[in-house]
Amino acid sequence: MIYKFRVILDAEEDIFRDIAIEQNNTLEDFHNAIFNAFGFDGSQMASFYTCNESWEQDQEIPLFDTGEEPGEMQTMAEFQLEDLLDNERTKIIYVYDFMNMWTFLIELAAIEDKNSAETYPALLFAHGNMPAEANTSFDGTFNDDDLYSDFDDDYDEEDLDMFADDEGFSDFADDDHNW
């Protein structure tokens, strides 16, 4: 069977992709299909979150085990789509790149028979263009112009040297400590 999903970027503009993928593919396979469909390079961390009908997050399913003990968390590679989603449970949340927090609301739109002439996963439809990422390009490198633009206002090196004279330091030092 094939699952057909609408993957919607949580943004002001309408930006979404329709993706078809086999029901026995893993969440990691779906993660790969999503970042490719939206033009990301796949170098960032990501997680899926189970949710209820009101989109309230529940269980996190990360790309990598981020628990304190190895094996503590189940990862995307350990879940097949059919384990989490069916005609009754149709919604899941996906977050890509925790610095930029690209959040996607995903809904299972249809479950259909597999078309033997198709290769899956498949991008069925794309609407809208991704907004430019803040401070990084899609290859994950910093844009120096954006990085320092917020700090151009009144930078003064003396502001950074709070102990330039001994007056400020003497308030914190006493004879009982070896500073």
The pLDDT > 90 percentage for the chain reads 50
Could you read off the pLDDT of 134-163 as tens digits, one per residue? 333 444 444 445 444 444 445 455 554 544
Who's near 131: CB < 8 A, 6+ residues apart? 11, 13, 15
Full-model pTM: 0.71
pLDDT at 164 over 90: no
Looking at per-residue pLDDT, the higher value among 34 and 73 belongs to: 34
Could you read off the pLDDT of 77-98 as tens digits, one per residue? 999 999 999 989 999 999 998 8
- What is the H or E stretch that residue 3 is in? strand 2-9
Domains of the chain: 2-127 (3.10.290.30)
pLDDT at 175 over 60: no
pLDDT at 107 over 90: yes
What does pLDDT average to over the chain? 80
The pLDDT > 70 percentage for the chain reads 73
Burial (CB < 10 A; 0-12, 13-18, 19+), residue 22, is middle
Rounded to whole angstroms, the Cα distance separating 36 from 38 reads 5
